[in-house]
């Protein structure tokens, strides 16, 4: 209960400060120096009600400035100035002026008059003037919020937990479920990674063993290659030796043939031809017929030469 009263009092104080500046309360803070030294800035001015017909020249009145005039001449919502003239024609109106400023550029209407100046309390209007500024409004709002939080922090906490359970609980449960699923997926992924790591380790071991085996095969193959190279060199050397032997044999045979040709006797010179005697050659008819008929079993298949024919002397 006490906490509620304190919060209400603070809120009322802020509202009063705001309304006092607007001129809706029977007091208002004094701001500006237009009426010094009669009215000092920062004091709290009490407003005394008065009938418009009772106002006379020289009175200090408090009146509201119409919105259009306020926007046009840049006046505050409520002004307290001294009356310098009372107009009755065509209607009742008042001309005002500050003690330290010029005449106001508008006529005050009777319905805008709030009253006359009464007592003033020095420096009590400063907090109210602060609340009329933008910084003061922000400060008031923050102060009320902090006060409410301080006074009703526990209740706000319980209400927050209720809101948390009623509104955010499904979202949080869903998030927890998603986190559990994510944790399971991470565990399964970790297991798969471990299995993959073991498989890679086994594979690397097998590759190392195969590399050793391959190295032994490579050394054997290198040995065979060296032996083959040696055999090839030996075969080439044998071919060279055989070629040298064949060359020597051929040279020896040529030398022997040359020696035999040189040792043979030269052929006898031909005998001079003798003058042939004139004679007639007669051939036996049976022999000649045999040649013409080309009898089977004949030993000669070519014509008989004159040397082979029998020579008979002419009688």
Residue found by looking up tokens 């006490």 in the block: 2
Burial class (CB in 10 A: 0-12, 13-18, 19+), 244: exposed
Residue 277: what pLDDT?
46
Residue 7: what pLDDT?
59
CA neighbor of 29 nearest in space, from 135, 130, 141: 130
Burial class (CB in 10 A: 0-12, 13-18, 19+), 114: buried
For the chain, give every domain's residue range.
2-152
272-311 b/e with 16+ CB inside 10 Å = b? eeeeeeeeeeeeeeeeeeebeeeeeeeeeeeeeeeeeeee
Q: Which pair of tokens denotes residue 310?
A: 């029998």
Residue 13: what pLDDT?
66
Residue 311: what pLDDT?
54
Q: Which pair of tokens denotes residue 111?
A: 């319905």
Whether residue 298 contacts residue 290, with contact meaning beta carbons closer than 8 Å, is answered with yes
Residue 281: what pLDDT?
45
Residue 65: what pLDDT?
93
In the chain, count H helices and then E strands: 7, 6
Residue 82: what pLDDT?
95
Whether residue 45 contacts residue 117, with contact meaning beta carbons closer than 8 Å, is answered with yes
Low-confidence ranges of the chain (pLDDT < 70): 1-7, 9-10, 13-24, 153, 155-169, 256-315
68-96 b/e with 16+ CB inside 10 Å = b? ebbeeeeeeebbbbbbeeeeeeeeebbbb
Residue 150: what pLDDT?
76
pLDDT digits (tens, 9 = 90+) for 144-184: 788 777 777 676 666 666 666 666 667 777 888 888 888 88
Residue 97: what pLDDT?
95
Residue 205: what pLDDT?
87
Query: In the chain, where do the E strands start and end?
Result: 27-29, 44-48, 60-64, 78-87, 93-97, 113-121
Residue 156: what pLDDT?
66
Domain 2-152 grouped into CATH 2.60.40.10 = no
In Å, what is the CA distance from 313 to each residue of 51, 62, 282, 289, 309?
213, 204, 9, 22, 13
Residue 278: what pLDDT?
46
Residue found by looking up tokens 């013409």 in the block: 292
């Amino acid at each position: 209960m006490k906490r509620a009263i304190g919060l209400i009092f603070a809120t009322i104080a802020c509202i009063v400060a705001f309304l006092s500046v607007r001129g809706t309360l029977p007091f208002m803070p004094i701001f500006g120096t237009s009426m010094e030294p009669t009215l000092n800035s920062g004091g709290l001015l009490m407003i005394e009600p008065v009938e418009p017909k009772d106002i006379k020249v020289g009175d200090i009145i408090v009146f509201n400035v119409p919105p259009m005039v306020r926007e046009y001449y840049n006046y505050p919502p409520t002004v307290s100035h001294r009356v310098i003239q009372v107009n009755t024609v065509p209607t009742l109106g008042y001309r005002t002026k500050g003690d330290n400023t010029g005449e106001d550029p508008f006529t005050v209407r009777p319905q805008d008059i709030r009253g006359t100046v009464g007592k003033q309390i020095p420096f009590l209007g400063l907090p109210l003037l602060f609340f009329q500024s933008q910084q003061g409004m922000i400060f008031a709002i923050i102060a009320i919020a902090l006060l409410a939080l301080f006074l009703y922090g526990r209740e706000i906490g319980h209400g927050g937990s209720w809101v948390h359970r009623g509104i955010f609980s499904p979202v949080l449960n869903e998030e927890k479920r998603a986190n559990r699923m994510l944790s399971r997926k991470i565990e399964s992924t970790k297991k798969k990674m471990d299995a993959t790591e073991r498989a890679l380790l086994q594979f690397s071991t097998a590759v190392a063993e195969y590399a050793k085996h391959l190295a032994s095969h490579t050394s054997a193959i290198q040995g065979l290659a060296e032996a083959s190279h040696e055999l090839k060199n030996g075969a080439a050397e044998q071919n060279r030796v055989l070629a040298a032997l064949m060359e020597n044999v051929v040279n020896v045979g040529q030398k022997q043939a040359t020696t035999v040709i040189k040792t043979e006797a030269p052929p006898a010179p031909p005998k001079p031809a003798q003058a042939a005697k004139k004679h007639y050659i007669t051939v036996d008819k049976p022999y000649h017929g045999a040649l013409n008929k080309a009898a089977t079993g004949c030993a000669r298949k070519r014509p008989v030469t004159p040397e082979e024919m029998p020579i008979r002397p002419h009688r």
